Structures are given as structure tokens and as C-alpha cells.
């Protein structure tokens, strides 16, 4: 029996979120893009299959249908020519993100984990996709590898990650399996990649009291990992490409660019909070004046009505500014994710392949001895 999407929306609004987009599979909601009203951060809410939520006709402009993309299992081009990546390096670079709450389960003792088997399973994951354009297939393989690495950051958490690219939707599910979907009739030519924290509906409901604290820690955690890996991988490149000073300057520029983006994000967040305070203050004044109008008469009442009218004009302006600032926050957040994801992808892949190249050259030197 279909469940009420209205009640789900009420729950989201009560917890400080609003729905931005619905993604359906088989006629029911599979994911919902939600926006935190307080932080202007976007997240993906995953709906387990046993919950049959049907979307509303009135929301049809916010609905996109998903098509699951089946996979094949040939060897990846990267591994074929560059060799298997050292799994210990991945686990060292992509630290597990630990949250204060760590609910509703306990972290396993690391000694109890069969890491070799776990990592071997990861490299058996299929990354070649059917029904995908050839150029996009290569990029989606990169996204698969990227999510495989990011999996280590949240392997003991119930939060996962998803990446949106063009009209493709690649997500790490609760079991640690990467799934890929295509968004029907919604082609987007943009090469931008958008990173989302994915929240299971049950986790959202059970842990709503400290949800925002967890999400804030997770945002900071993944940001720190991207920054750390940029530094680590840049150092690797510096060793291997000591003569490529122009490349190092570009990477330094990206560091400065991300700092500039974060400065703008902080500035807009502070402005957003200032506008929110001004709106709250103005609404309180309107409520007070409305009460006073009912108590007064004559010229004083007319003056109060004019004052109330002016406050409504001011509130309209404030709501307009608030919307503009929210759009700016969303823009800079997406821009930061796009830059970080691409730097992480490019530097990681280049380091793996260049390392193999120089090892091969070293073997040639040995043969020549």
C-alpha cells in the first residue's frame, strides 16, 4: 500500500528540511534531494524499497524517473595498464570519518575486519556500464573508483555518498555496493560533479535529534580528507615531476581558489543569518503593530497601518535578498564540490599511472646494468 508523501514532507519540514527534487524508480520514490533550511546544504534521502511512497501530481515538475544501469565485469583500463592500486595507500589516505554519535551501532574492532578480503571484493566490483555513451563510460568508471575510495571514509557509518554527473546518478548504498542510474528525459550537458551525503530514511527518522551535528561533522570530515589528499598527492607529483613547475603553480592556485570559495561561503552564510534575524525582528514588529491597530483609532490607527504597510514592503525585500543569498550559497557549495572531486580524481589517477611508469623505467635501468 502506497505511503503518504505528505506526511514525509511534514516530517522533513519539522526537522528543518525542504524537498527540492524527487527521483523515482518503478513508480515509487527512490531518492529525494532535500535542502537544509538552516545551512543551505543539499543531501539525498534514500527511501528503502519496503516503503512505497508515491509522488504527488502537483510535484510533477520536481520529479525525475531513474533507470537502473546494468553492469559488466571486464578489467578496467587503468588497472590493465597501470596495475592494481596499493590498497593500503587507499585506506591510509581515505581516513574513516568518525562522528561523535556513532549511532545506532558500535564501530567494529579493526582487528576483527578481514581487510584483505574486503579490499579484494572492492576490486571485483564491475565498473563498465551498458547503455552508456562511450565518452561518459570512461568518466563513470572514474566515479566508480572514486566512490570505492570514499567508501572507506564511511565504512562504519550509516551515511553514504552519491555523485551526480550529467544525467547519471552513482550512489554507494547501505551495503557498500555502488549502483548507477540514468535520469530519464533530463539530459544535462554540464561536466560538473556534485557530491551528496546520502541519508537512509530510517536513519533520518531514528537519529533526527543530532542529525545536523552529524552531517556538519561529515561535511567537515570529507572536506579535510579532500584537502589532505590534495596535499599528499601533490607531494607525490612534485617528486615525480620536479621539472613541471607550471603544474605545481596551478595546484597552488586551486588551493587559493578553494580558500576564496570558502571565504565567500562563510560571508554569504553570515549574511543569510543576518537577514534571518532581520526578518524575525520585522515579523515581531508586524505582529505587535497588528495588535496595536486593534487597540487604537483615528489618526494613530492610520499611522500604524502605514507603518505596517512599510514593514511588509521591507519584508518582501528581505525575503528577496534571502533567496538570492541562498542561491549564492548553493552555487559556491556546488562549485567547491566540483573542484574538489575533480582534483581528487585527476591527482589520484595520475599518481597511480605515473608511479607505474617510473617503476617500469627503473626495471629498464636494471636490465641495462
pLDDT higher at 349 or 274: 274
Average pLDDT, the chain: 80
Rg (CA), the chain: 25
| pLDDT tens track for 39-59 | 899 999 999 888 888 888 888
Phi, psi dihedral angles at 355 (to 5 degrees): -60, -45
Model confidence at 243, pLDDT cuts 50, 70, 90, reads low
Whether residue 18 lies inside any domain: the answer is no
Quick check: is 234 in a domain?
no
pLDDT at 234 over 80: no
Residue 110 three-state SS: helix
Is residue 151 in a domain?
Answer: no
More confident residue, 362 or 16: 16
Total domains in the fold of the chain: 1
3-class secondary structure, 271: helix
CA dihedral 185, 188, 193, 199 (to 10 degrees): -30
- CB-count exposure of residue 159 (10 Å: 0-12, 13-18, 19+): buried
pLDDT digits (tens, 9 = 90+) for 74-114: 455 455 444 555 666 666 666 766 666 654 444 444 445 45
- The proportion of the chain whose per-residue pLDDT surpasses 70, expressed as a percent, equals 78
Q: Looking at mean pLDDT, say which of 23-37, 104-118, 206-220 comes out highest.
A: 23-37
Q: Which helix (H) or strand (E) holds 24?
A: strand 17-25
Stretch 162-190: mean pLDDT, rounded? 84
Instruction: Supply the pLDDT for residue 100.
Output: 64
In this prediction, residue 176 carries a pLDDT of 84
Q: Is 72 exposed, middle or buried (0-12, 13-18, 19+ CB in 10 A)?
A: exposed
Band (pLDDT 50/70/90 cuts) for residue 162 is very high
Q: Is residue 325 part of a domain?
A: yes
Residue 149 has pLDDT above 90, yes or no: no
Q: Which domain holds residue 328?
A: 248-367
Mean predicted confidence (pLDDT) in 212-238 = 85
What mean pLDDT is predicted for residues 174-180?
A: 87
Report if residue 241 sits inside a domain: no
Give tens-digit pLDDT for 291-342.
Answer: 888 887 778 888 888 898 999 999 999 999 999 999 999 999 999 999 999 9
Residue 268 lies in a domain: yes
- The predicted pLDDT at position 71 comes to 62
In a domain, 254, yes or no: yes
The CATH number for 272's domain is: 1.10.287
Question: 51 lies in a domain?
Answer: no
Average of per-residue pLDDT across 352-366 = 76
pLDDT at position 325: 95
Amino acid at each position: 500500500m502506497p505511503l503518504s508523501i505528505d506526511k514525509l514532507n511534514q516530517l522533513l519540514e519539522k526537522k528543518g528540511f525542504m524537498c527540492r527534487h524527487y527521483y523515482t524508480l518503478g513508480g515509487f520514490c527512490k531518492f529525494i534531494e532535500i535542502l537544509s533550511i538552516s545551512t543551505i546544504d543539499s543531501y539525498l534521502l534514500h527511501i528503502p524499497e519496503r516503503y512505497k511512497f508515491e509522488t504527488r501530481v502537483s510535484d510533477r515538475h520536481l520529479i525525475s524517473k531513474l533507470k537502473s544501469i546494468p553492469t559488466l565485469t571486464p578489467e578496467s583500463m587503468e588497472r590493465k595498464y597501470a596495475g592494481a592500486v596499493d590498497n593500503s595507500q587507499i585506506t591510509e589516505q581515505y581516513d574513516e570519518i568518525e562522528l561523535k554519535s556513532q549511532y545506532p551501532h558500535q564501530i567494529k574492532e579493526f582487528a576483527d575486519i578481514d581487510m584483505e578480503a574486503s579490499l579484494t571484493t572492492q576490486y571485483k566490483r564491475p565498473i563498465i556500464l551498458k547503455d552508456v555513451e562511450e565518452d561518459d563510460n570512461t568518466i563513470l568508471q572514474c566515479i566508480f573508483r572514486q566512490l570505492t575510495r570514499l567508501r572507506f571514509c564511511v565504512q562504519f557509518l550509516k551515511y553514504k555518498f552519491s555523485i551526480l554527473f550529467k544525467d547519471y546518478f552513482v550512489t554507494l548504498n547501505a551495503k557498500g555496493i555502488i549502483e548507477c542510474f540514468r535520469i530519464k528525459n533530463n539530459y544535462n550537458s554540464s561536466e560538473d560533479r556534485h557530491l551528496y551525503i546520502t541519508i537512509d530514511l530510517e536513519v533520518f527518522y531514528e537519529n533526527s535529534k543530532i542529525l545536523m551535528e552529524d552531517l556538519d561533522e561529515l561535511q567537515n570530515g570529507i572536506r579535510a580528507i579532500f584537502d589532505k589528499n590534495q596535499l599528499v598527492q601533490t607531494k607525490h607529483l612534485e617528486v615525480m615531476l620536479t621539472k613541471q613547475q607550471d603544474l605545481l603553480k596551478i595546484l597552488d592556485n586551486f588551493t587559493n581558489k578553494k580558500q576564496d570559495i570558502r571565504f565567500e561561503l562563510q560571508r554569504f552564510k553570515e549574511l543569510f543569518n543576518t537577514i534571518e534575524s532581520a526578518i524575525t525582528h520585522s515579523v515581531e514588529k508586524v505582529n505587535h503593530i497588528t495588535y496595536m491597530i486593534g487597540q487604537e483609532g483615528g489618526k494613530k490607527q492610520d499611522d500604524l497601518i502605514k507603518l505596517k504597510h512599510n514593514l511588509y514592503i521591507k519584508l518582501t525585500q528581505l525575503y528577496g535578498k534571502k533567496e538570492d543569498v541562498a542561491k549564492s550559497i548553493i552555487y559556491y557549495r556546488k562549485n567547491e564540490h566540483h573542484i574538489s572531486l575533480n582534483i581528487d580524481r585527476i591527482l589520484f589517477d595520475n599518481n597511480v599511472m605515473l608511479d607505474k611508469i617510473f617503476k617500469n623505467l627503473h626495471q629498464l635501468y636494471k636490465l641495462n646494468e
